[in-house]
Structure formats: structure tokens, C-alpha cells
Amino acid sequence: MRENEGADVAALNDDNMTQITLSVVEEWLDSHPDHCQDYFLRKIELDLINKWLVSHGFLNINDYISSATSTSSSGNVSPANGLAVQQVSPAASPNAPSILVNGTNSLSVSQIYRSNSKRCRRHDFARAKTRSVLRTQEIGKDVPICSSRRSSLKDMRKFTSLPPSPISMLSLLIDSKVRLPRWPVSAHNVDTKRDLRHAQGERDFFLTVVRDIATDLDLKSLSQKIVDDLAVLLDCDAGSLFLVDGPPRGSRRRCLVSKVFDVHSGARGQFLLPDGVQCEVAGGPPTTTDNEVRIPWGVGILGHVASTGETVNLDVACEDPRFDDEVDRIMGYYTSSLLCMPVKNSYEEIIAVAQVNNKNPDKDGGHFTSMDEKLFETYLQFVGIAITNAQIVEDSRAEYDRNRNLLEVVHDLFEEQTSIDKVIMKIMQRAQRLLKCERAAVLLVDESCDSTRFSKLFDLNSPKHNIKNNVKNSRQKVEGENVSRYLESLAERVACSGEVLNINEHECNEGIVDSGINSLLAMPIRNKNDQIIGVASIINKLNSSPFDDYDEQLFEAFTIFCGLGIHNTLMYSEVEKAMARQKVSIEVLSYHATASNKDVERILGMPVPAADSLNLYSLAFDDFSLNDDEMLMAAVSMFLELGLVKTFNIEKETLYRFLITVKRNYRDVPYHNWRHAFNVAQVMFAIMMGCDMKNTFSDLEVLGMFVGCLCHDLDHRGTNNSFQEKARSALVLLYGTTNTMEHHHFNHAVMILSSENLNIFSSLSAESFSTVMKVLKHSILATDLCMYFQLRNKFFRLIESKEYSWDEDSQRYLLMAMLMTSSDLAASTKQWHVQKRAARLVTDEFIEQGDKERFELKIQPQALMDRERQHELPQLQIRWIADICLPLYQALGQMNPKLNVMKEGAMNNMHQWSKLVDENYKNANGEQK
């Protein structure tokens, strides 16, 4: 470029015959910057500007604009001079594209300045956000980072945009950089201060102690200093300071609290605790717990001064009727003279009461004079200012802690949404810790009931009340039950009215005798629609005082969070269920299909055999005697023999299509397949027709039970309920851990019955349809052995007492359940060759599940499902028949002698299994020999 300029200058010299060199031109431009700038602005082009920027290590204007508008830009931006640029490597291409002034990629100068201005504001705002409200200097390398910063929110604490997002504000508040001032306790004791007073004089010492308390913002250490100063200033033996605690309105909740209670200036480090225990550390600072001395409002001389604002000066304290000598008796101390005066703030409100005891007997005859009162009053004016400042700082610190805890609750709320129990327990734990109460409880309203009832109770006791209370005596247990009933009654009151209950000890004792409740706060929990979904309660503040207005406001925030947590968890649960339902539906649709017209036409042409010809009336029916088509026609025959087709006007094609569809909706598993479903239905048919039990039930009940037998294992996967729970399958998410597979079987049956041309209940009225569906569900759920174990003792007692009446609905439904179980387990009552083959099929299915548990779930399977323990099958079968099957068949035989054949068959099979055990034992001994 300089060479070109030199050539031009040379040409100019030739034309004008003037000797002008390049150095002369540069010197002239340097000496006339205004002319240079004017020429530059008039003549310069964008290409030249871009070349200059690139040659000096910056992006060209076009590249800068694209990077500046990108949210992912992380360059070093300089907001100076109105036009921001971004540094790049010097090796950047000199031929980078420039701005098209009037093209599609053009950007006006005003737009550039506007973008730059926003970025500058963001930059300034980000720097301002890093400054602490109360910090006097910027954060440097020597300032430690807050140790309590939450690791899960580290990535959120970046100031990259205006305005800040809610989550960034939350992280900032959680990791607040506000540092509340803390001052150490003064190391001067009373003796040192007495010496200091003699050395400085009374005036200078007074200024020293006033300056000392003015810089202490911790109430406990401040109280200690005030007590010491009073003993030195007034030359007395003891002093004490009590702060006013409680709301300004209503004296019932107000009291006097002493952070430090010193009744003898010579007994350094002694504090009177509520339980009468004294703590003393020789040669060091006093050590105390959070326990505080509390005096009721208006009690004693302290209470009188606090309530009236009068000054009390007694030469002989014990002669005054207001004086309480309880402390003297506990501490072995005698109070003669006494001076008590209120401490007021700038609004002339009493915020504390100070008291000094036992004037030095060598001064003024051991009595407090008017000069002492004046000095006392003067010092207490500064004490009022110091206490007010300390209380403001304490309130700020408490507010900071409360806000931090509330923000932690919000964090936990959105961190844990998989379980209502976990969400509520976390919120209750934080509420109990923040509100400092013994107990917290949450009761959830049962929305399925018209009246106010509760479906769940969450009760959390303070850990310190559970250490030595693992074993409760009978009286404690009865009282606990009474308290629970009392809490439930209060919760019902809150749930019905929506009011907030704040009850003190007197009101609590009116509701229940000797309840141990001295304060209670209960509030309703509402959902997003402002409907009451529960009641939250906190009981007994640890300091034994009632809950105040501030507690109510704070607890209200917890109830709001609790409602949000419950709502979010329920929504999350619904989403999980919807996903599980979709997954199960896809599995079902991918595995099963309805009956085709070709299959229906083929079966319609087959003759229906007589039930007698197939031995269907017999409980000794051979389970493996029929093939698939024969089982379909046998099922049609049983429908006809039971009179169900005629009674309920079931169309022939609908019945055939229904049976084929049910058959196809059983999976190809070793045992729980279509053959097993047919065999269960055959046993129920034999019980109804061959054992004269049909008349015990109505026609609708017979229909529901028989269809229930055919559908009771629909879509069985070859694994039991325990496996579904261990594997956390979609079925568990959808139906829960109770009767998981049975609920799925029933819902699958409902799905089939709801399909077009498959509803064999289509001719029923609405009432009859409701009845038969109730029976169908009851029958299928009864095939779960857990239900059998819950009901069988009740059935056995009923049979033994012979007081049963099948006309009663509850007893008849109990009989239905037992007959469903007896039909489901009937393979153990069949002939030996049938029982042995069925047992082998069941074992094969169990072993497949055991393999899944061992290799997929990485757990040890039970003996019945362990492939390595197949040789134990005879012993396991004996135990199965003896413990589960035989008691049921014995009870049924007592009820109906025709059912004794099932008991006899089970006993015979148990005998056959015993022979195999003996053979295995002999073979094992022979091998050993």
C-alpha cells in the first residue's frame, strides 16, 4: 500500500515539478488531525475498514454482527467507542465478506448501536449483580466462596441476560452473598472491668462500656456484657436482663426471656436452665444450650415492671409481696436490695427489663440511691439502642435463614416428584426444623368420599423425642390414640371451614385431658383450583411458647409448597400411568389379535358336543384330553348347559368370536395359557352342575364367575406379581403392587368385552351389566393367593361354626372367592398323571422366571424357581398341597360332601409325592454308598 502511495506521489512530483516525499505527507497529516479525520470519513469505504480490522486482529463488521447476535457467543467484547468488535487471531482471512449496505444482510448503524447498548447494559448489570448488598469491597481472590453453595445449581449462576430468569434468581438467593456482621464476645470479665473503672474513672469507663455494647450485635453476648456492666457501674453483686418476647397485642402470649441469667457476679459462667441444670466451664467462657429462662407476663417484680413501666427500688426485697424467692432458693442466694427498671426503644416501647441485686454494703448502706437510678436510667438508654440494633440483625439473620430454607424447600419440591410420601416428608422435616416444633402432621383428604374423611396420615416426631421411647407403656399408647383422634377432629374442622387454627395450651387441654399438647397450628392445604386437599399441623414449639403471627405466615408458605408438591407429584404419577398404559397397550396389540372371520366361520361349522360325552360334569376331568378346537367347543357346550346363552340372549356368532378372541389373548407360556383357563372353567362348571351349587347363586353371578374363570389369566406373561414389583414393570406403574396381574387380567377382559362383536353382555340392562361386571372383577381378583390368605380364615371359621347363610351377600361373595381359588388350584386334586404333568409345567414356568431374576434382576430366586434346586420339587409340592390346597378342600367338603373328591384327590397326590421323596432319598444314599 505504501509502495502504491509512493508511486502516486512520484507522479504528482513529475506533474507539478514539486519535490514532495511520503514522509512529508505523513508529517503534515499528523500535524492536521482534523483534516485527516474529515478526509477519512468522506472517502473511506467498508472494504478498507474490514481490511484494517482484520489486519489488527479483529473480526470484520459482518462477522461481528452475526456473532454478536448469537446467544452462544463467548468472545471478548469491548463496549468502547460505540462500536463493539471481537478479537480474532491475526491469521484471520483478509478477504472476509463485508457488510452489504442495501442487501439482505444489511444492518443499519442505529441497529448496531442499539445491539451494542443492550450488550453494555447486560455487562454492567452482570458486574452489579456480583456485588453484595452489605459488602464494602468487591469480591477478590482472597474472599472465600460460600461453602454452602449447592452443587446442583452451579451451572445456573451465570449472568448472561436481562432480565434474569426465575431459576437464576432462585440460585442467587440460595447462594446469597450477604454476610451478616458477627462480633466476638468480649473477653473482659467483671473483675477486669472493675479494675478498668478504677484506672479510667467513671466517665471514661462509662464511654468505654457504651462503645463496647454499641458494636455487639449478638443478643447473647450483648446480654452478658450488659449484665457485667451493670454489676460494675452500680457496684452491686448481681444483675440480670430479660427481653420482652411475644406479639405486642394480647398479654397472654407475651413473656420475658433471659439469654443470660446471672444471680451472683462471683459465680462466673453459671446459667440457670429451665430444667434446673447449671453449666460451668472453669476458666473459660460460659457454655449453654439453646434453653432460655422464661418468666410469664406480669409475674414477679420483673413482670410488674414490664407490664407497668415503673421503676422498683427495694431496700428489703423479701418484704415486697411481688418478690419471688424461687431463684434464691435454687441457687442458695439471698437478695436484700433490688433495683429494677424497664428498657425502652425510640418509640417508648418496653423491649426489656434490667435488674440489679445487692448493692455493695460498704456504699450507701447497701441501698440503691437516686444517683444509682439516674446512672441506671442513662445506661439503659444506650442499652435500648444496642438491643434494638441486635434484634434487627437477629431478625435479618433469621429472615435470611427462613428464606434460605424456603428456597431449599422449592429445590426439593422440584427435585423429588416421584412419590407423594417423599415430597410431604421432606417438606415436613424442613417445617419442623425451621419452626422448631416437636411434631408435624399432614392429613390428605379422601376425595372419593362425600363426607370429610382422610385417606393418608403423615406424622413426624422430633428425633429427640424418639431416642428413648421405642417401647411405650399402655397408658402412653392410649394417650397417643387420644391425641390422634383429637388431631383428626381438628383437621376435619379445618378441612370443612378452611380456617386457620392456632391453639394454645389452655385451649388444647379443653379438648383432651393430659394430651401433652401445649400449642398447635393447623392450616388447610389447597391445590391449584383452591380446593382443600389436606390439612397440615405443627405441634408444640420447642421453647414451650405458642405459635405467633410470624409462625403462621411462615407455615402458610409451607402449606403452599406442600400443595404444589402434591399437585406436581400427582401430575407426574398420571403421566407415568399414561406412559405405562400406552406401553402395555402396545405390548398387547403387538402380541394379540381378535378373532378373524375365517376362524369364526370354521368353528361355526363344527358340532357342539354334549357335556356328558366329554366328562365335563366330573371333578376328575383329564386336563390334557382335548385339543384347542375341542376346548373351544367344550366351552360352548358349558355355556349352553348352564343356560347362559338362553337366559341372556347371547348370539351364537358373538359367543364364538368372544371365545376365540379370549383364546388368542393368552400367551404361549408353559402353564398359565388357554388350556389352564379352560380347565379352571371346567372345574367351576363341575362344581355348579355336578355338585348342585348353581342354585346357590343368581344367574348373573353364575355368568360372571364362569366368564371370570375363562378370563382370569388373560395376557399372563409367565411371571408372578412379585416379579413385576421387583422389575418395576409398566404393570406395576399402572396398577400398583397390590393384585397387579389380576387387575391387568380384569382390564384386559373389559377391553375384549368392550370391542365390537365381542360383548356377550350386550343384551343386559345397565343394572344387570353393573352387577355382572362387579362379580367378574371380584372373581378375577380372588385368584390372587394374597386375597386367598386374607379371606380363608374367615371362611374356615364360618364353615366350622355352620352359621353360614349364602343368602347374605357378604358370605356369598366370600364363597365365590373360595370357589374361584379351588378351581384355580384344582390341578392338585386331579389324577396322579395329570397332577404330575401340570406340576412339571408350573415348574418350567417358575424356572424361567427364576432365570430372569438371576440374570436380569441379579437376585437369588426362591427355591421353587431355582433351576439348581429342581430335585426338591417333590418336597415343595407336598408343602404346597398340605399348607395351601388341602385346608381349602377340607372346608369345602364339610360344606358340600360332593366336593370331598377334591380333598381325596389332593391327599392321594400328596402321598404320591411322598413316594418320590423316599425314592430320591434311597437313590441319594445308594450313590453315597
What pLDDT, in 10s, does the model give residues 170-219? 455 444 444 544 444 454 677 788 888 778 888 888 888 888 888 888 88
35 is in an annotated binding site: no
Q: Could you give the CA distance from residue 247 to residue 39 in angstroms, rounded to a whole number?
A: 78
| Model confidence at 75: pLDDT above 60 | no
Per-residue CA distances from 728 to 577, 580, 740 (Å): 13, 11, 11
What confidence category does residue 89 fall into, taking pLDDT thresholds of 50, 70 and 90? very low
Q: Could you give the CA distance from residue 564 to residue 410 in angstroms, rounded to a whole number?
A: 9
Given this model, what pLDDT does residue 131 score? 43
Given this model, what pLDDT does residue 846 score? 94
Q: Which of 123, 304, 465, 672 is catalytic?
A: 672
Q: In what order do the strands lie in the sheet with 519-526?
A: 454-461, 437-445, 532-541, 519-526, 501-504
Span 628-653, mean pLDDT?
95
713 is in an annotated binding site: yes
| Model confidence at 40: pLDDT above 70 | yes
Percent of the chain with pLDDT strictly greater than 70: 73
What confidence category does residue 325 fall into, taking pLDDT thresholds of 50, 70 and 90? low
Span 814-828, mean pLDDT?
96
Average pLDDT, the chain: 77
How many other CB atoms are there within 10 angstroms of residue 831's CB atom? 14
676 is in an annotated binding site: yes
Q: Could you give the CA distance from residue 306 to residue 240 in angstroms, rounded to a whole number?
A: 14
Rg (CA), the chain: 45
| Model confidence at 696: pLDDT above 60 | yes
Q: Could you give the CA distance from residue 108 to residue 533 in angstroms, rounded to a whole number?
A: 58
Position with higher pLDDT, 144 vs 495: 495
Q: Could you give the CA distance from residue 765 to residue 749 in angstroms, rounded to a whole number?
A: 19
| Model confidence at 99: pLDDT above 50 | no
Q: Which residues have CB under 8 Å from 182's CB, separation 6+?
A: 217, 218
Position of cell 435470611? 400
877 is in an annotated binding site: yes
How many other CB atoms are there within 10 angstroms of residue 100's CB atom? 12
Given this model, what pLDDT does residue 443 score? 86
Position of cell 385451649? 507
32 is in an annotated binding site: no
Q: Kindly report each contact of residues 424-433 with a partner whose C-beta sits within 8 Å and lies 24 or more positions away, as own/partner.
A: 424/458, 424/562, 424/565, 424/566, 425/458, 425/460, 427/558, 427/561, 427/562, 427/565, 428/458, 428/460, 428/536, 429/460, 430/405, 430/558, 431/536, 431/538, 431/555, 431/558, 432/460, 432/462, 432/538, 433/405
Given this model, what pLDDT does residue 783 score? 96
Position with higher pLDDT, 270 vs 427: 427
- Please report which residue ranges of 85-174 form alpha helices under DSSP H: 109-129, 166-174
| Model confidence at 162: pLDDT above 50 | no
Decide if 672 is catalytic.
Answer: yes
675 is in an annotated binding site: yes
Given this model, what pLDDT does residue 315 score? 85
Q: Which residue spans within 485-634 are E strands per DSSP?
A: 501-504, 519-526, 532-541
Position with higher pLDDT, 281 vs 728: 728
What are the helix and strand counts (H, E) for the chain? 33, 12
Given this model, what pLDDT does residue 163 score? 42
Find how far residue 49's CA is from the centre of its chain: 61
Question: Would you state the torsion angle of the CA atoms of residues 466, 470, 475, 477, taken in this order, to the nearest 10 degrees?
Answer: 80
Given this model, what pLDDT does residue 161 score? 37
What pLDDT, in 10s, does the model give residues 108-139? 433 433 444 555 555 555 555 444 433 434 43
| Model confidence at 879: pLDDT above 70 | yes
Q: Which residue spans within 517-557 are E strands per DSSP?
A: 519-526, 532-541
Could you give phi then psi for residue 338, rounded to 5 degrees? Answer: -155, 140
Peptide bond into 274 cis (omega under 30): no
